[in-house]
A = this chain, B = another copy of it.
């Protein structure tokens, strides 16, 4: 039996893993706390696109340092991976070129939560890191010494 190990995930693999998910967690500083909001997202290249309504998330994210976390956890094998993006968020609006607005809308991200999600945020990564817990090798179901 070997122990579990912790591996760093290379950048390319981080982006590939990001693309396997449709829910991530946006981290923004607001109300004196590092708030964490699960959100639907889509990718435009390496840019994370989020739709939201007016509110805490949007006000706190605009032109601020934000983070975006995705993970996948396997309770059975006590393993999993997580990817953390650090970046800047900005709302896409009238000041942007029409092609950027069109590309943003073309991601087609559709929030599950009902309500008016009329605001589109782009989160431009400036750093991405990831870690994976690789499960240890479990002992064989039959002890080979039983045959000795």
Contacts and interface: CB of A to CB of B under 8 A. Distances in A.
Interface of A: 3-6, 22-23, 25, 27-29, 31-38, 65-67, 69, 71, 73, 75, 78-80, 82, 84, 86, 112-115, 131, 133
A34 B38 contact: no
User: What is the count of identical protomers in the complex?
Assistant: 2
A22 to B, nearest CB: 7
A69 B28 CA distance: 13
A37 B3 CA distance: 22
A73 B23 contact: yes
A48 B140 CA distance: 35
A114 B35 contact: no
B112 A78 contact: yes
22 contacts: A4-B112, A6-B114, A22-B75, A25-B36, A25-B69, A27-B27, A27-B35, A28-B34, A29-B29, A33-B65, A33-B86, A34-B66, A34-B67, A35-B84, A36-B36, A36-B67, A36-B69, A38-B73, A38-B80, A38-B82, A79-B112, A112-B133
Nearest to A79: B112
A22 B82 CA distance: 15
A-B pairs with the 5 shortest C-beta distances? A34-B34, A27-B34, A36-B69, A78-B112, A38-B82
